[in-house]
A and B are shown apart, each in its own frame.
Chain A
């Protein structure tokens, strides 16, 4: 699940329901604010947390994300209108990813929809967007309730997710089906999440029970808490853009908005499936991207956000986010470049005080592979139910 950019200038953040639980495990004590909630940047060390996620199981406090419980007769129609996820065809237990677009076809945010039961959907967004949702609800028989403050959300992901859950006695939680019910006396909802290629589950339970479930899981000592910095590495390896950092949500004053194609997420908003808000605008903009978000791997030990990117010695864009990837032993970064620049090799200006340029190459991520497959099979709707 994608976290939005941190609020750099916000007031002191509120503690998430899981904060008392996870705070105890934070050795580095490095916290930041996301959507006004506390989020840990590092618990022990970024490299360690990353390793754990890749080989074991990581536990993330997903409290800062915005969650809506959607109920009502036209809930599916509402979600189908609001996001490009195939909500109308979801069966109970299925989840789908999509994008939230504005009327002109620009991306407001990423969205994940899960159908927990016949009449209950769960919508998860990186940022609340309360106004957009309030407008989208008009005229339909649906109620979308913001439950972010009332629930604790724990994400468990990594190859050993199933093991961790089984060890905690939560065997009935499946990695592929979304469900809600009473689990060991606690009302829980669970839905599958995906971090790049890593499978995972998000558990949601009432905030009063936050500590109970946490204790149950952490007691076995199998999972480790993971902070934002380590998740950033996973995100960049997976190739998922981060709202607020790699692109500005449409509607923010002063920033140029992006279409799905420009973010490399065209496969999340197919034009031929069902109607969603912004599809008409998108039809006109499709095929004419002005910029592109490309994943680059840079021959260096560090880069800086905002560093200029060159192609054939001409400046074509800037780096929007970067991270040191232990797996690749290089810096990987997202660059917002001009759509006209083709080719796989770029150059990045080095971090001052060093001078000169660093070589960079495009590399394939999970998202870009999906996008390529989608573009290759034009007209064939790629299904993202999990």
Chain B
């Protein structure tokens, strides 16, 4: 409606300069939609500009096989920020969880199987033989959940200029109430390797293997390296559907989160424009003045929030002449080595036995042996496809009645770790594909006979579809590097009126939206101060 008429107007007049707008949000992913919704609700005239043809960024619905639709991006919700859900009233806008508190079944290389209750506070490990293991697990989960909850402020994106001291005070206040025991524990968890921590607690048993797999899933740091245990704490610090550390499946997959956010943005009267690539961000004096579009037009506003990756936002849109030398060094310092891959597989037939049917209602994780995980990370970092991968699988068709197919199932798989390629050739794709299928075969025997169609999606494919830099969605390095980069991009961007909430501003992987919320709040604070 509005979009169409504006577009034709632009086409007639490519040098149109638009004014009267209070805020521009670049990037139509979940963080962009969140930020725009917050700004719109506060009464600012907001425009959301996305380069891709669809709204939603890398989370998109796509046809993965004739007549079958799958969702790219995320297949579970584990860290969706509860504040965002509450503030934007996302339940009212249509988020519904088809399955909450998903139990996880772990399959081991030795053939053993353990089931973990979805509610981590229960720490109920079913089919566990040894009672002492159970006690150790309870104690461990208690410690871990307590520490994760305590460290939530540390994992939240934060730190804006002008919020420097306040941010430190807030952090000190929330973290300062640690008992010496907790302080000791935090220091140990931070600097020790995940393997050391787990081995000290659980010896060489199955629990160590299970937790090693859980820690290293989606993380770019091998669990045999320092700072790796924090990935587990980060994962367990999040909430899904009100339960700490749990996993939930929304009705319609992650795409429904996007739909709800879009509805929230529209309810907040945000002007959402797709298929409008941006050429650069206008900077006048030390203030942001708006954006220029690729087709030559300009949109002027005094607030610009960038929800695209840092390389694009800083190096391409702002340009090296306007960013501090130190920030540029941080952006160019590291190359991504490791990435995850998604595969969506269409399977023929229905589950025959009860056990399989029950497993399809759970989250399945294949945990290779610790040596295999170590080798996998070694191989991935060296650029080779590992033999055994950690695999996480869910069945959208089983969890969500609305997505059920006739006599077919969809299995959505996340495999990790894989070497990151900016432009993988066909041979590499084939190697990745067969490695993933081999790993699935380890716990779902005979599965390859039932494959009707499969769709492999690598990190670079996600990036390409949203016109992001190729490394935007690679796995993140260890927590210290993530903290440093997040602080750099959200703190010292420093251009007045510019806020960043792209993937680098978020700690840990997963669909969170917290970065968008923090950026919007910072923008609103500055806006009110300026208007006052």
Contact = CB atoms under 8 A, between A and B. Distances in A.
A127 B315 CA distance: 29
Contacts of A81: 320-321, 325
B328 interface: yes
A374 B195 CA distance: 61
A280 B286 contact: yes
Contacts of B315: 139
B324 A135 contact: no
A278 interface: yes
B321 A132 contact: no
Contact of B326 (A102, A140, A284): A102
Contact of A280 (B320, B328, B329, B495): B495
Given A103-B492, A279-B286, A138 B322 contact: no
Interface in B299-330: 315, 320-322, 324-329
Interface string A265-291: 000000010010111110110000000
Contacts of B492: 103, 280
B325 A136 contact: yes
B332 interface: yes
A70 to B, nearest CB: 14
Interface centre among A77, A135, A138, A280, by most chain B C-beta atoms within 10 angstroms, is A280
Contacts of A264: none
A135 B325 contact: yes
A277 B324 contact: yes
A98 interface: no
A227 interface: no
A382 to B, nearest CB: 18
A80 interface: yes
B500 to A, nearest CB: 14
B321 A103 contact: no
B153 interface: no
B142 interface: no
B286 A140 contact: no
A140 B320 contact: yes
B286 A103 contact: no
Contacts of B326: 102-103, 135
B322 A275 contact: yes
Interface in B147-183: 161
Given A138-B332, A275-B286, A280-B286, A132 B320 contact: no
A138 B320 contact: yes
A347 to B, nearest CB: 37
B320 A139 contact: yes
Nearest to B493: A280
Interface centre among B315, B328, B495, by most chain A C-beta atoms within 10 angstroms, is B328
A138 B328 contact: yes
A229 to B, nearest CB: 36
Contacts of A283: 286
For chain A, the bracket of interface size reads 20 to 34
B494 interface: yes
A272 B284 CA distance: 11
A277 B286 contact: no
Nearest to A277: B325
Interface in A259-318: 272, 275, 277-281, 283-284
Contacts of A280: 161, 286, 324, 492, 494-495
A184 B494 CA distance: 51
Contacts of B328: 135, 138-139
For chain B, the bracket of interface size reads 10 to 19
B321 A80 contact: yes
Nearest to B162: A284
A74 B320 CA distance: 11
Contacts of B329: 135, 138
Contacts of B327: 103
A49 to B, nearest CB: 39
Given A103-B492, A135-B329, A138-B332, A278 B320 contact: no
Interface in A69-93: 74, 77, 80-81
Given A103-B492, A139-B315, A278 B324 contact: yes
A345 B284 CA distance: 44
Contacts of A102: 325-326
Interface string A58-76: 0000000000000000100
Contacts of B495: 280
Nearest to B285: A272
Interface in A230-260: none
A138 B161 CA distance: 25
A103 B325 contact: yes
Interface string A118-161: 00000000000000100110111000000000000000000000
A73 to B, nearest CB: 12
A284 B283 CA distance: 19
Contacts of A275: 283, 286, 321-322
Contacts of A279: 286
Contacts of B332: 138-139
Interface in B480-514: 492, 494-495
Contacts of A140: 320-321
Interface centre among B161, B325, B326, B327, by most chain A C-beta atoms within 10 angstroms, is B325
Interface centre among B322, B324, B327, by most chain A C-beta atoms within 10 angstroms, is B324
A281 B164 CA distance: 12
Contacts of A135: 325-326, 328-329
Interface centre among B161, B283, B320, B329, by most chain A C-beta atoms within 10 angstroms, is B320
B329 to A, nearest CB: 5
A132 B286 contact: no
A286 to B, nearest CB: 12
A202 B320 CA distance: 32
A136 B321 CA distance: 9
A287 to B, nearest CB: 16
B314 to A, nearest CB: 10
Interface centre among B161, B326, B327, B495, by most chain A C-beta atoms within 10 angstroms, is B326
A102 B327 CA distance: 11
A275 B161 CA distance: 18
B494 A132 contact: no
Interface centre among A140, A272, A277, by most chain B C-beta atoms within 10 angstroms, is A277
A136 B324 CA distance: 9
Contacts of A77: 321
Interface centre among B321, B326, B332, by most chain A C-beta atoms within 10 angstroms, is B321
A103 B324 contact: yes
A107 to B, nearest CB: 14
Contacts of A277: 324-325
B394 to A, nearest CB: 42
Nearest to B332: A138
B327 to A, nearest CB: 7
A350 B494 CA distance: 47
A283 B162 CA distance: 12
Nearest to B164: A284
Interface string A179-193: 000000000000000
A50 B289 CA distance: 54
A138 B324 CA distance: 11
Contacts of A138: 320, 328-329, 332
A275 B325 CA distance: 12
A318 B329 CA distance: 36
Given A103-B327, A280-B286, 19 more contacts: A74-B321, A80-B321, A81-B325, A102-B325, A103-B492, A132-B325, A135-B328, A136-B325, A138-B329, A138-B332, A139-B315, A139-B320, A275-B283, A275-B286, A275-B321, A275-B322, A280-B161, A280-B495, A281-B324
Interface of A: 74, 77, 80-81, 102-103, 132, 135-136, 138-140, 272, 275, 277-281, 283-284
5 closest Cβ pairs, A-B complex: A139-B320, A280-B494, A103-B326, A103-B324, A77-B321
11 contacts: A102-B325, A103-B324, A132-B325, A135-B325, A135-B326, A135-B329, A136-B325, A138-B328, A138-B332, A272-B285, A275-B283
